[in-house]
Amino acid sequence: MITVVLKKLVVALMICNILVLGLAPVVEARLIGTHEALQMTQREEQLARINRIFSGSEVQEQMLAFGVEPKDVQDRLAVLTDEELRQLAGRLQDMPAGGDGVLAVVGLVFVVLIILELVGVTNIFTKL
């Protein structure tokens, strides 16, 4: 008997719940992560989840295009946050990629020397 009353009560409460919620977009009930809590509004949160899916696959495609081994791609995506994935998506080409500055500098020096040579400041390559 008590359980029947309880059930009716819960159903009534549920109806109230739904009425209060109205037609608001459904949000999954779950634990909220700290990063999310630090910068959350509803719209941002929903967009972020959509973006996670899109930017994840976009970054994956780009990594493959830039020569990353397929076996490494998932591990690399796994340590990136949603925000970082969004930063990376579409920008892998433009972001500074720290590489072999030293050898490149030798090349640059060479170019400068040739220019100096061509405009006649130096005479390293041409014997008078």
Partner 1 sequence: MICLVSLLAGCAGQDPVLRSVLPQAEDSVVELTDTVFFPQKDYQCGPAALATLVVHAGKEITPDHLAGKIFLPDRRGSLQVELVAASRGYDLIPYVIDPSLAALLAELRAGRPVLVLQNLGLAAFSLWHYAVVIGYNTWEDTMILRSGTVRRQVVSARRFLVSWRQSSAWAMVVLNPGEMPENPDQGRYLKTVAALEEVGRYDTARAGYQAALQRWPDVDSALLGLGNCYHGLGRIDAAEKAYRSLVEQYPGHGIGYNNLAHVLAEQGQYTQALAVLNKGLLLAEHHGVAGQMLLQARGEIMIRQVQEQSVNDSGD
Interface residues with partner 1 (CB under 8 A)? Answer: 3, 6-7, 10, 13-14, 17-18, 20-21, 24, 26-35, 37-38, 40-42, 45, 63, 65-69, 71-72, 75-76, 78-82, 84, 87-88, 92-93, 95-102, 104-105, 108, 121-122
Q: Report in angstroms the alpha-carbon separations of 98 from 1, 49, 94, 122.
A: 72, 30, 12, 32
Cβ nearer to partner 1, comparing 76 with 118: 76
Burial class of residue 82 (count of CB atoms within 10 Å of its CB; 0-12, 13-18, 19+): middle
User: Least distance in Å: CB of 118 to partner 1?
Assistant: 16
Cβ 88 vs Cβ 54: under 8 Å: no
What is the token pair recorded at 96?
A: 């500074």
Cβ nearer to partner 1, comparing 54 with 66: 66
User: Least distance in Å: CB of 103 to partner 1?
Assistant: 8
Number of other CB atoms surrounding residue 55 within 10 Å: 22
Cβ nearer to partner 1, comparing 51 with 80: 80
Amino acid occupying residue 67: G
